[in-house]
Structure 1
Amino acid sequence: MCKFLKAALLALVLALPQSVVAKCGDSFADFVSDIKKEARAKGYDAALVDSFFANVRVDRKVLKADRAQGVFQLDFTSFARRLISNERLNKGVMNAKRYDRIFDRVEREYGVSRGVLLAFWAFETDYGSYQGNFNTLNALMTLSHDCRRPELFRPQVFAALELYKHGDFSPTKTTGAWAGEIGMVQMLPQDIIDNGVDGDGDGHVLLKTSAADALLSGAKMLKHLGWRAGEPWLQEVVVPEELDWSKSGLRTQMKASDWAKMGVKPRGGKLAGHLPASLILPQGRKGPAFLAYPNFRVYFEWNQSFTYVLTAAYFANRFGGAPVFDAGQPERGLAGGDLKILQEKLARKGYDVGKIDGILGAGTRAAVQDMQEKLGLPADAWPTHQLLNRL
């Protein structure tokens, strides 16, 4: 869900009298009662509200899924090899041919490459074959009641209510992912309201059953989030043995032509010399290397995981004919318990690494890179045992 959408939805909630705003952490029955009051205060008919929430309940499996995202502890190479297979690539090529007219329309109207959508379609639901079996309303209400991130999910409950009002959502039959996303490309209810496209002309936006609706809606959302037509998003490169590694990472942008002057070369094709780009070293200076262009940052509005985003962007390149990336010979990185220890040490030194979870997120990468620079180590943001020992 995009950042400015979160802010807008939260503003609507805050505009209501606080006496009718449901609070997380109370008993679920009281929470449902307060949500219903809030819905009526927003102007929804009482009978509609009662019908919508009639069978809602807590889903403990949603909370379990929310707390068990261990796959994101994998390094980029391991994660990419797990998600990308020849079968998944070939299936994507077949779908590109099957829905060629839809992809032509996507590229013409929204400027989004078919490879970008094919990669999301593959990763989110394996081209629609598995869209999740969590009851969507129960998932959204469970996560709204849970006090970890209610501000993200509570507005989605009311967006689902709006879809229900128009006949495009069933509180008992609509299912999807544990976090409330629906359909082949997994969009939240508010995203469907804002960016849904009736691609097949049947008068409804049905992301679960219509590939045309799903693909066009996904493309419209990417454009809404800032996608720039006709520009690349990610390019594999070869880096020299010596470089100012502190300039790597998303926090630094230079023209691709300036990276070329520093010895960075494309592994295939030509660099987009006029575009700003960041040098991405997901496993340090001895591992895979990529230049990330402005469109790459749009990916983070779809998903916040660095590893997921990089893998999705790389997979999109594969649909355009790019070869398998060069994994290189990266130094052995930290994982699990060792990475948690490093995060704890960095946090004690005043760095904001986010949650101590053993996941190499943006905050941890930035802290690692800064500490490497202070200690005179190659500042490539890749946490190693050498850094841990030095600390």
Structure 2
Amino acid sequence: MTRTPDQLIDFDALLTEEERMIRDTVRGFCDERLRPHVADWFEAHDIPDDLGPAFGEIGVLGMHLEGYGCAGTSAVAYGLACLELEAVDSGLRSFVSVQGSLAMYAIHRWGSEEQRNHWLPEMAAGRAIGCFGLTEPDFGSNPAGMRTTARRDGGDWVLDGAKTWITNGSRADVAVVWARVDEGYAGFLVERGTPGFTTHDIGRKMSLRASITSELVLEGVRVPDSARLPGATSLRGPLSCLNEARFGITFGALGAARDCIEQTLDYVAAREVFDKPLAAYQLTQAKLADMVLELDKGLLLALQLGRMKDAGRLPHQAISLGKLNSTREALAIARTCRTLLGASGITTEYSPIRHANNLESVLTYEGTAEMHQLIIGQELTGEAAFR
């Protein structure tokens, strides 16, 4: 009997040898270094300080970027790495995604050569951690409304404002902070310890507990002009970074779904109800069939988007298609798997309830499901329905 959720579509046959090798390397690292501990990290609402260097050792931080100590892999290989990381926990994939696709990508794409040389090799190795300060307490889906400002004062800039829901915030050595300026919008590199710059962790989360989420507060924070990202002069700067992160989520959320299905397959084969395995019941098999169908469709969509990205022809509307589908279907799969696990499904001994809690956040961040529906709708109709 087929027990691998993607075996029916022979997914491995669609990958190159290098892509499979990278995928297997990340999977082995996850099984050895992350999976045995992730339930405890989730319970403790914390992650180890040495995760950055550990991720740096296997080359997943900024792995899809070229030069400066980055691996320069294909987009598909990066997506597969995200899938394996999120199969362990969305919070761990978020750590890698924020580091590489948001903070490092912002510096790589919009920074100066001096900024790239200073930060990217250290960040690729995990010796320096970054975060990405865009979302504000009153402005999430509408970043154009941000209230954080930066004003010129001689040769410096002075930043005032607050950012919230910032992954890696209190662990970051450098924050990429986006602010309003007279000319529009700009990004700044704010280092830990800069006077007036403080962070506060957000507690009592029921989701992404194996992840650090913080508020950034900037009160008269003075940085030199050399800390400004010279290439970013509009919202195109941060939005381009979000597209990079959304692409990784398209693959990543499917990893959480796959892990839920794999654990559920093992459970229903062993669990006996009325003197026969739970797997032998029609309703069980119907649920499993529907979940594998959605997972496999999502994998094929994600792979196609990855091939388009590697070919340099992936529009941001297609990324919205992938992010919306993967997160929505993964969350539905996690919830359904929980039902098949019965009472066992509400403990962290099994992963579906943890994945379901995490995916509630993944459905929302980097663009809510509703915003992605409107992005796709605008592309289909030519009408903007955001307001």
- Please report the TM-score for the alignment, with normalisation by the length of structure 2: 0.25
- Structure showing the higher strand proportion among its residues: 2
- Structure showing the higher helix proportion among its residues: 2
- Please report the TM-score for the alignment, with normalisation by the length of structure 1: 0.25
By relative contact order (CA 8 Å, sep 6+), the higher-ranking structure is 2
Tell which structure's C-alpha radius of gyration is larger. Answer: 1
